[in-house]
Amino acid sequence: MPLVSHPFRALVIGSSGTIGSAFVELLEGDPLCVTVQGIHRNSTSPIDYQDFSTIEAAASALSGGATFQLIINTIGILHSAEWMPEKKLDDLNPAQLQKLMQVNAIGPALTLKYFSKLLDPAGSVMATLSAKVGSIEDNRLGGWYSYRASKAALNMLIKTTAIELARTKPNTALIALHPGTVNSRLSQPFKGQQIGRPPLNAAQDMLKVLLSLNKEDSGTFISYAGERLPW
């Protein structure tokens, strides 16, 4: 039986981004979603992975309300104005590696720590966007050192948290979710406009998967098509 009941309350973390805003738009039009809240760097209760203290503060600001049956964390970084994904080992630099670990692993881990307390213990799902290139087993091309490593670290953090929550919140599923290639600012330098799906279509694909999950899916790495991916 799916964990997300009908009707349900949803929270989108990183709701000002391309995928996050698409999720908000989609959920606002879903008659089964009675309310959807979005938080981001400039929201009333901001969340900013450049300042880890905002994570606990944002969760605390929401703690007085009703619990959520669905939480989706869409925050992530692949490149910046200063650097692009590494093509070879000689391109590796500590600032880039540290920044991606901060945004793609440490920030989401602290989000799991504080926001998992807002999940409905009767039935809920918390999904964090990961990436297939974070799969160690599936890595056949190499390169992209910092991004691969940060997403692999994220996957381990999700898996470990899921094991603990299975004991304390057995009707909750925590998953790593691969969105596929989406036409967004993140994918733009990599022909995202040509090969990526429209954000709303991607959000629809992922939401369909999320609303079908049961507790046995907790601690897994799942694609937007519902495929189980190797760690």
pLDDT at 187: 47
Mean pLDDT by 10 residues, the chain (231 residues): 94 96 97 97 96 97 94 95 93 96 98 98 97 95 97 98 96 97 67 70 96 97 97 94
CA-based Rg of the chain, rounded to a whole angstrom?
17
* Packing angle, helices 145-168 and 94-101, rounded to 10: 30
Helix H or strand E encompassing 73: strand 70-73
31: left (phi over 0), alpha (psi -120 to 50) or beta: alpha
pLDDT at 178: 97
CB 131 within 8 A of CB 33: no
pLDDT at 64: 87
Residue 177 CA to residue 196 CA, distance in Å, equals 17
Residue 30 CA to residue 24 CA, distance in Å, equals 10
pTM higher than the cut 0.85: yes
List, in order of start, the domains of the chain with CATH numbers. 8-223 (3.40.50.720)
Q: Is 206 helix (H, G, I), strand (E, B) or coil?
A: helix
pLDDT at 197: 87
